[in-house]
Amino acid sequence: AGVALGVQIGAVASEIANFAMSFIGYSYVWGGKSPSTGFDCSGLMYYVLTQYGYKMNRVANDQMSQGTYVSRSDLQVGDLVFFGYGSYANHVGMYIGDNQFIHASSGKGCVVITSLSASYYANHYTGAKRIIQ
């Protein structure tokens, strides 16, 4: 049962990550949390996960208080990755595998995929949480 459960979780996480990726190119809008308005970083995570029945906090630092801590070396598709200063997160995205994450980027003005190794994100990585269990 454990193996089947793991496959099932992985399949759900992949489905949710693919759903998130369907919003690539949507506008970045501060405070936005739906496809009709556009998204900010936490709004995108909020929208995507609530569509699958997860109860989510609305802002990045509050989202970081949810789920189970995951070390960077154990990241799986669907995990939320957080960025900021010290233990304060001011940005969030979803890990999609291959050292990349999807997020609503204020700098790019839209939803994009970025490498975790990109200098700003590598320097401001504050942790990851697994919401999809």
Helix ranges restricted to H, 1-59: 2-21, 41-50
Which residues are tagged catalytic?
41, 91, 103
State the CB neighbour count (10 A cutoff) for residue 41.
26
- The CA-based dihedral angle spanning residues 51, 133, 57, 70, taken in that order and rounded to the nearest 10 degrees: -130
Residue that is written with structure tokens 């590598």 in the block: 122
Sign of CA dihedral 4, 45, 109, 118: negative
Structure tokens of 128? Answer: 């990851």
